[in-house]
Amino acid sequence: MGAVHFSLVKFNRGFLVCLWLWGMLSLSCAAARYGASRQKFEVKKHLNRLNKPPVKTIQSPDGDIIDCVPISKQPAFDHPFLKDHKIQMRPSYHPEGLFDDNKVSAKPEGKETHIPQLWHRYGKCTEGTIPVRRTKEDDVLRASSVKRYGKKKHRSVPIPKSAEPDLINQNGHQHAIAYVEGDKYYGAKATLNVWEPKIQNTNEFSLSQIWLLGGSFGQDLNSIEAGWQVSPDLYGDNNTRLFTYWTSDAYQATGCYNLLCSGFIQINSDIAMGASISPVSGYRNSQYDISILIWKDPKEGHWWMQFGNGYVLGYWPSFLFSYLTESASMIEWGGEVVNSQSEGHHTWTQMGSGHFPEEGFSKASYFRNIQVVDGSNNLKAPKGLGTFTEKSNCYDVQTGSNDDWGHYFYYGGPGKNKNCP
């Protein structure tokens, strides 16, 4: 009888353990289902916030969907401070020395300027609307969270003279740049050739851009950025794309790429932020470059962006910033990559053309006709142009000047090689 009782106790204990495990598993499954359901709800809510109802939709050959959205319905106007904002359809002033005449408009007059974006092959947006690259569910799901979608990681700006060595290789971000500092800057301009660098891992990117910076490199950095990039994580492919970025708190909570949050106000109906640029430059082949100008309107105080020879894209309202409400304290031009160092080796993600500066024209990537805007709203050659790179054996930069290109530099590199293991 004792043996039977002992067996029943063991059975009851085993049964209770199984029952407990089953309960825990059920709770875990329920929690997982709730989590997945919650994430799906958050993603859908975010997509509804970003993708405004279009008056026309254009299917791009690269798989993008371009929505033609009424200018007054764009994501910028979700910002509480912009509810009653009157859209400024053109800047009050442009920098002196930009054109022979005094005209700047949303579209260049006279001779048509080629805008190399793939979606133009299948249509265009009408006046009064702006082209917006539609955000898809997969785009958001690739991000670490819904909240971080469309945002750079913290500390992703080059710090040429930092006294803090822990910031130098900021989260694997590496740079090859030229820069100026020590003055008040009210804009910057450059022409840069466009490439399609190879990316090793999907969580890495390669970009070439202009930075306009204000504040310290701590928690309060203000930055306005524009250029071209290849970012599989952000866009889901390896196409070269036009982009902008802004932040007023060192990439923490504020700002985003392109139109992926409220902030930048677009007025142009021809250019889509985040859309593919085509064609791109080839090694020992044709070179294709784009011109980017960012400047502060002396009257209204907004920061304006122009792409190409006269296409004014729009502006960042001055209230978005703290230090940049006055001026920038540093300008940087150049390349940036993410080096995730998989398996302990340097990434072979390319910067620019993937070739070192010494190879020169048609082989290396370049920035030419570099200029800054001074306090009198004049475009000027930069004074005291410096250079910076964390690892010159991986990516490097070399400056020069001549009559045709003014101040220029070649930059970039292949990443991993025999001198950069």
Active site residues: 225, 336
Q: How many C-beta atoms lie closer than 10 Å to residue 237's C-beta?
A: 13
Token pair 């200018």 is found at 71
User: What distance in Å separates the CA atoms of residue 311 and residue 106, rounded to the nearest whole number?
Assistant: 5
Candidates 117, 99, 35, 140; CA nearest to 295 is 99
Token pair 């002396």 is found at 298
User: What distance in Å separates the CA atoms of residue 132 and residue 46, rounded to the nearest whole number?
Assistant: 15
The DSSP secondary-structure symbol of 420 reads B
SS (H, E, C) 75-134: HHHHCHHHCCCCCCCCCCCCCECCCCCCCCECCCCCCCCCCCEHHHHHCCCCCCEEEEEC
Candidates 128, 132, 50, 54; CA nearest to 87 is 128
How is residue 265 written in tokens?
Answer: 């106000």
> What's the one-letter identity of residue 271?
I
41: three-class secondary structure by DSSP: helix
The DSSP secondary-structure symbol of 377 reads S
27: three-class secondary structure by DSSP: helix
